[in-house]
Amino acid sequence: MNKENSVSRVNPSQAYRLLNHGPTVLVTSTHGQYRNIMAAAWNMPLDFDPPKVAIVIDKNTYTREPMEASGSFAINVPCRAQAEMVVRVGNCSGRELLGKSPDNKLAAFDIPTFPASEISAPLIEGCVAWLECKIVPEPHIQNTYDLFLAEVVAAQADERVFSEGRWHFEGHDELRTLHHIAGGQFFLAGKSLQAG
Ligand X SMILES: Cc1cc2nc3c(=O)[nH]c(=O)nc-3n(C[C@H](O)[C@H](O)[C@H](O)COP(=O)(O)O)c2cc1C
Footprint on this chain of ligand X (rule: CB under 6 A):
24, 36, 38-42, 56-58, 61-63, 86-87, 90-95, 105, 180
Cβ pair 133, 123 in contact under 8 A: no
Nearer to ligand X among residue 14 and residue 29 (C-beta): 29
Nearer to ligand X among residue 62 and residue 162 (C-beta): 62
Phi, psi of 188 (to 5 degrees): -95, 150
Neighbour count for residue 8 (Cβ, 10 Å): 13
Q: Report the alpha-carbon angle 77-82-86, nearest 5.
A: 75
Give the amino acid at 167: W
Among candidates 147, 148, 152, which has minimal Cα distance to 77? 152
Closest approach, Cβ 89 to ligand X, in A, equals 7
Nearer to ligand X among residue 7 and residue 131 (C-beta): 131
CA 95 to chain centre: 19
Closest approach, Cβ 40 to ligand X, in A, equals 4
Give the amino acid at 41: A
Which residue sits closest to ligand X, CB atoms considered?
90
Closest approach, Cβ 56 to ligand X, in A, equals 5
3-state class (DSSP) for residue 16? helix
Closest approach, Cβ 184 to ligand X, in A, equals 7
Among candidates 141, 148, 140, 115, which has minimal Cα distance to 130? 115
Closest approach, Cβ 173 to ligand X, in A, equals 20
Nearer to ligand X among residue 63 and residue 70 (C-beta): 63
Element (H, E) at 85: helix 83-89
Nearer to ligand X among residue 13 and residue 143 (C-beta): 143
Nearer to ligand X among residue 7 and residue 90 (C-beta): 90
Closest approach, Cβ 24 to ligand X, in A, equals 5
Instruction: Report d(CA 25, CA 158) in Å as an integer.
Output: 15
